[in-house]
Amino acid sequence: MPLLTTGISHHTATLETREKIAIARHEHAARVKELRQLDGVEEVVVVSTCNRTEIYSIGPKQSRDHIRQWLQAKGGLSDAEMEKHCYVREREHAVRHLFRVAGGLESLVLGESQIVGQLKESWQMAHEAGSLGKVLDRLFQRAFATGKLIRSKTRIGEHPVSVAYTTVMLAKQIFGDLKSKTVILVGAGEMIELCGRHLQDKGLSSLIIANRSVNRAANLAAEFDAHAVSLTDLPDVLHKADILISSTGSQEPILHEESVRAALKQRRNQPMFMVDIAVPRDIHPAVGKLGNVYLYTIDDLQTVVDKNLSKRTEAAEAATADVDESVDEFMRWLNSARAAVYLKNLHKHARMHSDELVGRALRKIEAGNDPEQVVTQLANTLTKRILHLPSTRLRQAAEEQDDDLLRVANRLFEPEDNP
């Protein structure tokens, strides 16, 4: 049975379109059940994240249309929208796609590792819903292993490619453990919030948020168990900052050489790491000339981000060979498994006839018939029965000039010592 991937992702559709077909966690079991009941769908796993909704399935070719129609109805999309945004991949192309997804090679942020956890959750929910069979179970297990191999071998995730994350990683490089450090975040926008989350992930315990709107600062501070102050109070707490990250909408610098110099004096010249990711700049350039101040601007960080993105791209290219090898290995297993099914059916067909004819032959021998004649008749009848259907199909293939089937038959039955 064909292995299929049907989906829509950030590569093919906008967020607005992706939202229409997204499947929430609480409705996952019901949606999987609906898909499993579609004609021909034997196994199914649904992967739904903010960047993709993909359906991995096992079933005959006609199931592809059923799944595509289900996805279209789920999102209320037109035929034109489906044609533009939806993709279908089959067999080894579907396998390669999943392995690339698991390795972070298809992610919005190249090399991100969050997708692995999302894939494992989808696999687990499919298992709980009873829609996970032998093939998709093996496929996802192999995808997890491939993703792990890519990350360990290429180290693709070690190079930060977002400004917020790069900021925090630079701070960690300078100070090492951030748990004992105090950070001041100036502003309360998206970039500052992202920095706060990354700092929280690093175990930071002392955080101050300064903003023109104290209420906005307080709301954000509540999320991170931080202390909020107004911008006018910033000079009073500046000396506490081992690290300061600023991103406001001010048209003029809000931090000048005099206030930073005063803070350094109170700190007894303990170093300060300052990052200005605002445009226009929040921190006057003269601050960067002070001793014991490490000042980075958005351009400095972007240089690091671009360099790291280049490294991730190189790592992604290096991972292609590992993906190809994993795809080949899985396809060998899949083809072998398919052959095993066909052989099982063939043996079952042969045994059914042999059991019947042997029973009949034994009864004839018990009745006094000549054993040699009975065995000869048994062999002739069994041969005819086993070869009847293949013979009929081959004659039909010859009449219809189906050369492909004739060549396959020749390979199947040609003696190995035939020149």
Could you tell me where the DSSP H helices lie in 176-211? 190-201
Which helix (H) or strand (E) is 208 found in, with range?
Answer: strand 206-211
| E strand residue ranges, 64-195 | 87-90, 182-186
What's the token pair of residue 74? 């789920």
What's the token pair of residue 118? 């999302």
Is residue 195 among the annotated active site residues?
Answer: no
- SS3 category, 201: helix
- Separation CA 144–CA 112 (nearest Å): 14
Q: Is 339 exposed, middle or buried (0-12, 13-18, 19+ CB in 10 A)?
A: exposed
- Separation CA 282–CA 105 (nearest Å): 36
CB 29 within 8 A of CB 129: yes
Q: What is the DSSP string of 123-145?
A: HHHHHHHT---HHHHHHHHHHHH
Distance, C-alpha 94 to centroid of its chain? 13
- What contacts 24+ positions apart, CB below 8 Å, involve 325-332? 326/99, 326/142, 326/145, 326/146, 326/149, 327/92, 327/95, 327/96, 327/99, 329/142, 330/95, 330/138, 330/139, 330/142, 331/91, 331/92, 331/95
Q: What is the 3-state secondary structure (H, E, C) of 223-245?
A: HHCCEEEEHHHHHHHHHHCCEEE
Q: Which of 50, 343, 352, 379 is catalytic?
A: 50
Q: What are phi and psi for residue 183, nearest 5 degrees?
A: -120, 135
Q: What are phi and psi for residue 224, nearest 5 degrees?
A: -110, 10
Active site residues: 50
